[in-house]
Amino acid sequence: MKIATSLIAALFLASAATAVMPDDPAKIDTCTKPGQVALTFDDGPGLYNDQLLALLAKKNVKATFFVLGSMVAANAQQAGALKKILAGGHQLASHTYSHGNLDKMTEDAMRLEISKTSDIMFQHAGVRPAYMRAPEGNCAAVCTKVMESLGLVISHWNVDTNDWRFTTLAPAAATEKSMEEINKVIIQGSNPATDSSILLEHEIHKFSVDLLAERVIDAITAKGYKFVTMEECVGKPAYLTGSVVPPVVPPTTNTTTTGAVVPPTGSVVAPSGSATIGSPQSTASGTGAIVPTITTGNKGTNSAGLVRAGAWAMGVAAAVGFAML
Ligand SMILES: [Zn+2]
Catalytic residue among 90, 99, 156, 202: 202
Degrees to nearest 5, angle at CA 110 with 282 and 23: 115
Interval between CA 170 and ligand 1 midpoint (Å): 22
Measured in residues, the chain has a length of 325
Interval between CA 167 and ligand 1 midpoint (Å): 15
For residue 312, pLDDT over 80 is answered with no
Cβ atoms 270, 301 nearer than 8 A: no
For residue 252, pLDDT over 60 is answered with no
Mean pLDDT of 184-196: 93
Q: What values do phi and psi take at 158, rounded to 5?
A: -120, 0
Give CA–CA dist 83/126, Å, rounded.
9
Interval between CA 28 and ligand 1 midpoint (Å): 16
CA separation (Å) from 167 to 41, 79, 173, 215, 224? 16, 25, 10, 17, 29
- Nearest-10 Cα torsion for 87, 208, 225, 191: -150
pLDDT at 136: 95
Mean pLDDT of 115-130: 93
pLDDT at 62: 98
The fold for domain 2-238+299-324 equals: TIM Barrel (3.20.20)
Please give the share of the chain, as a percent, with pLDDT higher than 70.
Answer: 66
119 classed as catalytic: no
Interval between CA 147 and ligand 1 midpoint (Å): 17
For residue 259, pLDDT over 50 is answered with no
* pLDDT band of 6, cuts 50, 70, 90: low
Where is average pLDDT lowest: 42-51, 157-166, 224-233, 269-278?
A: 269-278
Interval between CA 168 and ligand 1 midpoint (Å): 18
95 classed as catalytic: no
For residue 91, pLDDT over 60 is answered with yes
Interval between CA 281 and ligand 1 midpoint (Å): 30
For residue 325, pLDDT over 50 is answered with no
For residue 279, pLDDT over 60 is answered with no
Interval between CA 19 and ligand 1 midpoint (Å): 10
Would you list the domain boundaries of the chain? 2-238+299-324
pLDDT at 24: 67
Catalytic residue among 29, 42, 119, 195: 42
Give 135 or 315, the one with higher predicted confidence.
135
Cβ atoms 110, 146 nearer than 8 A: yes
